[in-house]
Homo-oligomer: A and B are copies of this chain.
Amino acid sequence: MRFFSDNAAPVHPAVLAAIMQADVVDTAYDGDQWSARLHSAFSALFETPVSVLWVSTGTAANCLALAALCPPYAAVLCHADAHVETDEGGAPEFFTHGAKLMTIAGEGAKITPDALGRRLRAIRDDVHQVQPRALTITNATEYGRVYTPDEVAALGALCRAHGLRFHMDGARFANAVAHLGCHPADLTWRAGVEALSFGFVKNGGMMAEALLFFDTTLADETRRRRKRAGHLLSKGRYLAAQLLAMLDDDLWLHNARSANAAAQVIGRAAGGRCLHPVEANEVFIALSPAEAAELRQQGFDFYDWGEGAARLVTSWHHDVTAVQPLADAIAAL
């Protein structure tokens, strides 16, 4: 059983069905009927007018957002363990034309207002030092931690005070919302977030991610940047249909709840081994090489996470029964 990544999971049947239904003759690029419905569908979900662009990867969504929010000669503030800093192969620098990522430390890959304030104060305001123009946070974080609406709002207030634009990498936004039980709006634009990468691939989609602008004035320029980055698909309806299927009947939320619940089962079994509180669909545990080998011998696959630690990721197609064998195996170590 694989717990490498939520990317290893198959596609949810409803998404596959939607792709089949979109298999008709229609206008190319994003001129089709599915793409046209994205704005209203997401606006309804977020209770505010949003502009939406579909793209095929989270990296593209994140980096198109950063390019819209930060000029080439400025900097984006992010956590030192942020996906944009450590796992996107330099894509932020590519899309922004060389903007600098300035990193901030913090437990569980979370940035606190205090840490942000300290980082800002350390930057001289002259032409010799690159000046920050944007903040990006990941929710749920790379360590499976979740920012609450209040925590996001505190960062949002700091951003406004310092002239920073505010982006949220929501590759696992669904898991964050599922954990909090809050309204998606409370976690985003009501807390000052201006652009959201809303991830669906890790949550049952095939290759469609949504880039949402709550500041809708940024969308037109970004449509040009999307084309220029080769991210406007000629048969875009096959992407748009995936997103609409995920929104239908809150499939995104149900899938995330399954993944989160599965993670809780593992987390509870792991008990004191847990290196971070389990809030979303990732469980980080202390695990000796011998223990890791034992689990693998029993057929469980996962990534080592540095020395003596492992990362276990659940996904939409795990439920509490599916992960019970892993939970039992961990408990029995």
| Complex partner residue of A24 from B10, B24, B91, CB under 8 angstroms | B10
Task: Give the contacts of A60-90 with B (CB-CB under 8 A).
Answer: 60, 63, 71-75, 86-90
Stretch from A122-130, A162-170, A187-195, A291-299 forming part of the interface with B? A122-130
Q: How far is the CB of A13 from chain B (nearest CB, A)?
A: 9
CA distance A8 to B230 in the complex (A): 18
User: Can you give 21 A-B contacts (C-beta < 8 A)?
Assistant: A10-B23, A10-B24, A10-B25, A57-B231, A72-B72, A72-B97, A73-B94, A73-B224, A87-B128, A87-B129, A89-B128, A89-B224, A89-B232, A93-B99, A94-B98, A127-B224, A127-B227, A127-B232, A206-B238, A207-B234, A229-B229
Number of this chain's copies in the assembly equals 4
Interface residues of A (CB under 8 A from B): 2, 4-5, 7-11, 16, 19-20, 23-29, 55-60, 63, 71-75, 86-91, 93-101, 127-131, 201-202, 206-207, 221, 223-235, 238-239
Residues of B with C-beta under 8 A to A226: 127
A72 near B57 (CB under 8 angstroms)?
no
CA distance A96 to B97 in the complex (A): 10
Q: How far is the CB of A242 from chain B (nearest CB, A)?
A: 11
Q: Which of A10, A23, A74, A127 has the most CB of B within 10 A?
A: A127
| Complex partner residue of A230 from B9, B55, B100, B239, CB under 8 angstroms | B55
CA distance A98 to B225 in the complex (A): 12
CA distance A221 to B133 in the complex (A): 12
Measured CB to CB, the nearest residue on chain B to A11 is B23
Measured CB to CB, the nearest residue on chain B to A239 is B207
CA distance A96 to B98 in the complex (A): 8
Residues of B with C-beta under 8 A to A59: 227, 230, 232
Residues of B with C-beta under 8 A to A71: 221
Given contacts A4-B28, A73-B224, 13 further A-B contacts (CB under 8 A): A8-B25, A11-B23, A57-B230, A58-B234, A60-B229, A73-B90, A73-B221, A88-B228, A89-B128, A89-B227, A207-B234, A207-B235, A229-B230
A93 near B88 (CB under 8 angstroms)?
no
From known contacts A228-B73, A235-B7, infer whether A129 and B89 are also in contact, taking CB-CB under 8 Å: yes
From known contacts A8-B28, A28-B5, infer whether A56 and B223 are also in contact, taking CB-CB under 8 Å: no
B93 near A56 (CB under 8 angstroms)?
no
| Complex partner residue of A72 from B16, B94, B99, B233, CB under 8 angstroms | B94
Q: How far is the CB of A207 from chain B (nearest CB, A)?
A: 5
B90 near A100 (CB under 8 angstroms)?
yes
Q: How far is the CB of A132 from chain B (nearest CB, A)?
A: 12
Residues of B with C-beta under 8 A to A207: 56, 207, 233-235, 238-239
Residues of B with C-beta under 8 A to A27: 4, 8
Residues of B with C-beta under 8 A to A100: 90, 93, 101
CA distance A2 to B87 in the complex (A): 43
B57 near A232 (CB under 8 angstroms)?
yes
